[in-house]
Structures are given as C-alpha cells and as structure tokens.
C-alpha cells in the first residue's frame, strides 16, 4: 500500500499550475453520452477518478481513450448499446451516478446501482430521482439498483440522427424545484433535460462554477441552456447534440488547497491557472483571517505571500456556492489549528465531514466536535505522526498538516488523495516540500 512520507518544516516558494477540475471533467465525460460524433476534452486531470469514469463509459460501450500526458480524452458514444451501470463501478466512484441522466435521456431507461453512503455522509440521491420523475420517468428501487424508465412517449418532431434513432421514449420538460441546491441533482437533471421535449426549469439549482462548465460544454454541443450561474437554469430541449472540443476549467478545490499551503508555510507561492471568481467567499474569508492574497485576475493567477501580521481566528460555515465550500473545510481547519485563539467551523452540507479531526488531534491539534460544529483552539505546533486519510479532502488536509509538523508524518490510505489531486506530491516537492510517495 502506498503512503506519503513528509518531513515537516520546509518553507514553500515558487510557482504551481492548477490542473483541470475533477468535478467538472467527470460530469462532462458523462454528458458526452448525449452527443453524436466525437468529443475531445482538454485539460482533463490525470487522477484515479477520471480513470474510473473512462472505465464506466467503456463498460457501457463508448469508444474512449485518455492520454494522461497530454490530459486529453477522446470519446465517441455512437455505439453505446446498454443503459446499465454496474455496482462494481458505481461503488468505486459515486460520481458514476452522473451517467444516469444522460442514459435515461438517450435510451428512455436506465439501470444503475445505488451508490450508497461514503466516509463523508449518507449521500442521498432522492432529488435526482424526483427530477427524473418530474421529467416523466418512473423509478423502481430493487436489489440495490434503481431502474428508471420514461412512461409515456412524446415523439420527436423532426429528423433522426444515429443517437435519436435510439430514443424509444422521450423525457418531457417540466418545472423542477429542488429542495436543496444539490450539485449532482442539478447536473443529472440538466443533462437529462437537454434532449427532452419542451422547456425544463430547475429552480434552486446549484451554482458552483463546475455546473457552469458542464452547461457551457452542453451548449457548445448544441444544447440551449440559459440562466447559467443563477439559481434558475432553463433548458430548451433540442433534437440532437453533437460532440465538440472543450477545455475543462481549472480545479477550484486544488486552488484552495495550494492557497492554504501558502498561508501555512509559504514565502511566496504563485498559483497559475487559478480563477479568483470561482472561489466564492473562500478568498475573502482568508483575507479576513489576515492571509496575504493577491488576485491577478487578468493572468489567472493568485499569489499567496507570507503574512507580516498575526493571523486571526475565524468562524466558518460551509454552504453551497458562493458560500464556503465543504470540500475546503478540512483543509482550512489545518490553518485554523495554528492560529492562536478559538475558531469555529460549522459543517452544513455533509453530516460526517469531521473524520479527519481525530487524526489531526493525534498530531497535537486541539479540536473538539460538538454536533456539526468543530471548536478549534490554536496550538503552537503540530507534531508528525502516522495518520490515516479517511477521504480525499481529509487526506489533503493531513498532507498540509504534515508540511508544518515537527518531524515525520506518514499518511496511509493515500488512494483517496490520488482519486482527486493530480501529481500532488510532485507539485509540493517543486515548491520545496520534503514529501515522497513510498510504495
């Protein structure tokens, strides 16, 4: 089993380039199911989750290749024959559920394993299913699978293409009010609605920049989506989408991770391919804490410099975009652990996202959990220890803790980290960190 071994105490300095966004690339790959012809995606991160999505799409019959050195994916879904996504793949990666909307739209039915919970929470998909129902499908849950099928047929109004020939039943546009701005539900419904008849409106939609990226990709393929970036997304159904060439946006969570690395132990870190506006309230919150951040928007660059003043404790509350992102919650916790005084983090999105706390406490942090609040008392130093990554972002947080801890930190279960960060150890080493991956 691979682990990261980190010797703490090095100051970081230099430039780092942010990779393509995991949570955009995966959805755009799934969306390519809807398009005829070939789609070429650029800036796709070489991470394990992308490899799993390649596997999912090739299992259902897509012709797909991924060049990890050029970060390019080539997909042709013209010959997909099945509408089933098996448990072996869905259990490996929850985001596999995002093929459900496109498959339902394309075949009029889909059978997909229920993903179940994970280490950060129970992760329901009821809102996805309600959305499918509103678009005219009926859902049946049986033997751990969801079987969703379009009930009545609404025939397509004009010519047929190789994909639209496959349409047995079409979804029908509807107005859908989401109880919570779920990202996955917004994405699945938006994809399903692109080829439905008539207009779909998703109210209380998620507004994360990755959703805008997916909508922009779909529009480039010929979809008619408006209201992008607002909480009311409107989709006018079209007859056909055609594959296109598209560049995936930069990863905002990776950007945030390097910003915190800079705040913890950076002299000056220049973060390239980083978009300030995609960070929501995150950068403002860090400025309030006293982190020295410079936005060079025109160059897509964010600079973090060592702060000349003492950093201040903070109250953080996670919320959907543009609120403070839950994915950066474990990561900012490491910074707050080192700031004198008391900080409080309230986690509002996932009920189980404090799994990293016991590991940080083993490294000398002082964090107490009270329900969905973490009360953090700043300490003078962390000390290196063997620790376990319970999920992707928890793992990244432990890496950052290791960078500033006394002595050596060994991080186990790093397969979680490799799911979502491209060349994490190499990028940190280039900035001056002493981190190695040991197999």
Q: What tokens appear for 434 in the block?
A: 């002493």
CB of 261 to ligand EPU, least distance (A): 17
For residue 332, give Cα distances in angstroms to 27, 79, 137: 26, 45, 42
**126 lines the binding site for ligand EPU (CB under 6 A):** yes
CB of 151 to ligand EPU, least distance (A): 21
Q: 3-class SS at 349?
A: coil
By rule CB under 6 A, what string of x and - marks binding of each residue 400-439 to ligand EPU?
--------------------x-------------------
Residue from 45, 184, 209, 262 binding ligand EPU (CB under 6 A): 184
H or E element in which residue 330 lies? helix 329-337
In angstroms, the CA 187 to CA 4 distance is 34
Residue from 149, 170, 172, 183 binding ligand EPU (CB under 6 A): 183
Instruction: Phi first, then psi: give them for residue 58, nearest 5 degrees.
Output: -75, -30
Give the strand pairing for 232-236 and 224-226.
antiparallel
CB of 179 to ligand EPU, least distance (A): 8
In angstroms, the CA 157 to CA 222 distance is 17
**123 lines the binding site for ligand EPU (CB under 6 A):** yes
Residue from 9, 61, 121, 432 binding ligand EPU (CB under 6 A): 121
**392 lines the binding site for ligand EPU (CB under 6 A):** yes
Q: Which stretch binds ligand EPU (CB under 6 A): 61-69, 133-141, 180-188, 239-247?
A: 180-188
- Identify residues 90-119 at the interface with ligand EPU (CB under 6 A): 95
Q: Which stretch binds ligand EPU (CB under 6 A): 35-43, 121-129, 192-200, 229-237?
A: 121-129
Peptide bond into 322 cis (omega under 30): yes
Shorter beta-carbon distance to ligand EPU: residue 122 or 232: 122
**61 lines the binding site for ligand EPU (CB under 6 A):** no
Q: Which stretch binds ligand EPU (CB under 6 A): 29-37, 55-63, 124-132, 218-226?
A: 124-132
**124 lines the binding site for ligand EPU (CB under 6 A):** yes
Q: What is the DSSP string of 18-79?
A: --B-HHHHHHHHHHGGGEESEEEEES---SHHHHHHHHHHHHTT-EEEEETTTTEEEEE-TT
Query: How many chain residues are in contact with ligand EPU, going by CB under 6 A?
Result: 24
In angstroms, the CA 316 to CA 338 distance is 15
Between the two ends of the chain, the Cα-to-Cα distance in Å is 6
Nearest CA to 200 out of 164, 177, 175 is that of: 175
Residues identified as active-site: 118
Chain residues binding ligand EPU by CB under 6 A are: 23, 26, 95, 121-128, 180, 182-185, 206, 326-327, 349-350, 392-393, 420
């Amino acid at each position: 089993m691979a682990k990261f071994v980190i010797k703490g105490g090095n100051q970081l300095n230099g430039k780092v380039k942010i990779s393509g966004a995991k949570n955009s690339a995966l959805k755009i790959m799934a969306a390519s199911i809807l398009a005829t012809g070939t789609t070429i995606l650029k800036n796709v991160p070489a991470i394990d989750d992308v490899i799993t999505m390649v596997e999912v799409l090739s299992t259902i019959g897509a012709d797909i290749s991924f060049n990890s050195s050029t970060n390019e994916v080539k997909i042709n879904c013209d010959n997909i024959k099945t509408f089933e996504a098996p448990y072996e793949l869905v259990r490996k990666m929850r985001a596999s559920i995002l093929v459900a909307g496109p498959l339902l739209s394309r075949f009029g039915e889909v059978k997909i394993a229920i993903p179940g919970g994970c280490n950060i929470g129970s992760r329901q998909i009821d809102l996805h299913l309600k959305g499918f129902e509103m678009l005219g499908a009926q859902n049946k849950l049986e033997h751990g699978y969801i079987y969703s099928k379009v009930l009545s047929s609404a025939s397509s109004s004009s010519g047929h293409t190789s994909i639209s020939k496959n349409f047995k039943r079409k979804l029908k546009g509807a107005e859908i009010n989401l109880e919570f701005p779920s990202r996955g539900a917004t994405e699945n419904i938006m994809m399903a609605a692109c080829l439905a008849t008539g207009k779909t409106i998703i109210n209380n939609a998620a507004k994360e920049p990755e959703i805008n990226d997916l909508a922009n990709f779909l529009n480039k393929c010929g979809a008619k989506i408006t209201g992008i970036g607002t909480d009311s997304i409107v989709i006018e159904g079209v007859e056909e989408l055609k594959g296109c060439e598209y560049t995936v946006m930069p990863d905002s969570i990776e950007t945030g991770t390097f910003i915190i690395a800079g705040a913890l132990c950076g002299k000056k870190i220049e973060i390239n391919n980083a978009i300030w506006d995609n960070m929501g309230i995150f950068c403002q919150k860090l400025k309030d804490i006293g982190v020295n951040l410079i936005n060079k928007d025109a160059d897509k660059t964010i600079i973090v410099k060592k702060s000349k003043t003492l950093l201040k404790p903070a109250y953080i509350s996670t919320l959907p975009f543009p609120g403070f992102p839950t994915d950066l919650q474990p990561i900012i916790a490491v910074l707050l652990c080192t700031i004198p005084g008391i900080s409080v983090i309230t986690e509002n999105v996932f009920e189980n996202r404090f799994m990293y706390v016991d590991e940080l406490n083993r490294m000398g942090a002082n964090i107490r959990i009270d329900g969905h609040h973490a009360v953090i008392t700043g300490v003078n130093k962390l000390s290196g220890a063997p620790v376990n990554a319970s999920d992707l972002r928890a793992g990244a947080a432990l890496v950052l803790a290791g960078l500033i801890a006394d002595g050596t930190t060994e991080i186990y279960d790093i397969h979680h980290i490799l799911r979502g960060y491209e060349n994490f150890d190499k990028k940190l080493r280039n900035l001056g960190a002493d981190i190695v991956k040991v197999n």
